[in-house]
Amino acid sequence: MKKLFDIWKKFGKNFEKGGKLEKLSSFYDAFDTFLFTPQTTAKKNGTHIHDGSDSKRTMILVVMALVPAMLFGMFNVGYQHLLATGQIPCCGLTAALWWKAFGFGLLAVLPYIIVAYAVGLGIEFVVAQIKHEEVAEGFLVTGFIIPLIVPINTPLWQVAIAVAFAVIFAKEVFGGTGYNIFNVALITRAFLFFAYPSSMTGDKMFIRTGATWGWDGGHALVDGFSGATPLTQMATGTPVSQSFWDMVNGLVPGSVGETCIWAILLGACLLIATGVASWKTMLATFIGGGLTAWLFNMFGSEANLAAQYPWYMHLVSGGFAFGAVFMATDPVTSARTECGKWIYGFLIGLVAIVVRVLNPGYPEGMMLAILLMNAFAPLIDWCVVQANINRRAKRVIK
């Protein structure tokens, strides 16, 4: 390994100032930082605190937290296909069918992961080279989240355009990683929702023909088959057929990474244990959503199925749990003061349920709620800080 490292470093001299490949220095630096532990430290005068936490380690921890949701989502895509084609016997899944379901889902989801990373990282590499800056690791997480929240039937060219739009206009124009106001993954989904509404239904899981992905096993579906999610059923006035435990276990139609609460909970535990994400924001989001849904249960119209949908069912339906754990807690776009995290999370939960109940045309309100509160996060922090300043000023006067 040391010999390989020495060869890599020797090759890297070509990218240094005055080297033959100086103009591609950002490309080399990106791979060097990702593959190895950087050997450079701060050299300017002043006090510096060195520890083992940097953006690369933080991003990798978030990706690790997302892996359970991604793996289960791949399996669920295949499971919904087998269920729709009648390939699952009454006795349940066999080992062979389990692997067949996972293989089908893997082939379905993998192209979205490749496109998201290829387009997003490609743009970031080019921008970094133009600006003569290092390539930040922020898109490692964004590129992983996008395939988990985009409907599985979305054309890849639409995903590519949406990713390019989000990276350029929601991130790079603000200065890059750490400066963006809105969550880049959610901007990708929002762009698709408004630019290509026919491909985005909010929260349906579509299953293409097995022949399209080469995994039909002689059981191809009509292209465009869709499985109605609980929120879709609720919005169309159809009684929800799935139970609470059905949705917790995740074997229901929905976006790839948003169905299994157990997988999301595993990710949440890792993020909280490592201090990467705020448990206050997560808990406040669930409290805000649960309380708002309960109030609608108590005082909402009986004719509105969404208002009468049990409050605890709202918390495990659609993208609520996934959004609360992985996107509301984004350290760049969320509130940063401790009190502000409670307010920020509570308002996300409140707005998400209000959108679900009062806007049946768009039953999944989590995306809009998080993006709205991204805009208000700086104001929330400013109000919290100003309130603390005023309280301390009053103590001094007394």
Whole-number pLDDT of residue 224: 35
**Residue 207 and residue 77 in contact, taking contact as beta carbons nearer than 8 Å:** yes
Give the tokens for residue 334. Answer: 């969320």
Whole-number pLDDT of residue 50: 57
Single pTM value for the model: 0.84
Give the tokens for residue 190. Answer: 């929002």
Whole-number pLDDT of residue 246: 87
Backbone angles phi, psi at 221, to 5 degrees: -95, 160
**Residue 328 and residue 348 in contact, taking contact as beta carbons nearer than 8 Å:** yes
Whole-number pLDDT of residue 300: 85
Question: How far apart, in whole angstroms, are the C-alpha atoms of residue 252 and residue 237?
Answer: 18
**Length reported for the chain:** 398
Whole-number pLDDT of residue 217: 43
SS (H, E, C) the chain: CHHHHHHHHHHHHHHCCCCCCHHHHHHHHHHHHHHCCCCCCCCCCCCCCCCCCCHHHHHHHHHHHHHHHHHHHHHHHHHHHHHHCCCCCCCCCCHHHHHHHHHHHHHHHHHHHHHHHHHHHHHHHHHHHHHCCCCCCCHHHHHHHHHHHCCCCCCHHHHHHHHHHHHHHCCHHHCCCCCCCCCHHHHHHHHHHHHCCCCCCCCCEEECCHHHHCCCCCCCCCCCEEECCHHHHHHCCCCCCCCHHHHHHCCCCCCCCCCCHHHHHHHHHHHHHCCCCCHHHHHHHHHHHHHHHHHHHHHCCCCCHHHHCCHHHHHHCCCHHHHHHHHCCCCCCCCCCHHHHHHHHHHHHHHHHHHHHHCCCCCCCHHHHHHHHHHHHHHHHHHHHHHHHHHHHHHHHC
The structural domains of the chain, with segments of one domain joined by +, span 21-37+55-235, 277-384
Provide the CA 74 distance to its chain's centre, in angstroms.
15
Whole-number pLDDT of residue 216: 45
Whole-number pLDDT of residue 209: 42
Question: How far apart, in whole angstroms, are the C-alpha atoms of residue 381 and residue 257?
Answer: 30
Whole-number pLDDT of residue 32: 60
**Residue 59 and residue 140 in contact, taking contact as beta carbons nearer than 8 Å:** yes
Question: How far apart, in whole angstroms, are the C-alpha atoms of residue 137 and residue 67?
Answer: 17
Question: How far apart, in whole angstroms, are the C-alpha atoms of residue 186 and residue 371?
Answer: 7
Q: What is the pLDDT along the chain (398 residues), one digit of tens a residue?
A: 666 656 656 656 666 666 666 666 665 566 566 566 666 665 555 555 555 566 777 888 999 999 999 999 999 999 988 888 888 876 678 888 899 999 999 999 999 999 999 999 889 888 877 777 777 777 889 999 999 998 888 899 999 999 999 999 998 888 887 888 999 999 999 999 888 887 765 444 444 444 344 344 444 443 333 456 777 766 666 767 778 888 899 888 888 999 999 999 999 999 999 999 999 999 999 999 999 999 999 998 888 888 888 999 999 988 999 999 999 999 899 999 999 999 999 999 999 999 988 887 677 889 999 999 999 999 999 999 999 998 888 887 76
- Which of 125, 160, 117 minimizes the C-alpha distance to 141? 117
- Which of 91, 105, 206, 75 minimizes the C-alpha distance to 150? 206
Rg (CA), the chain: 23
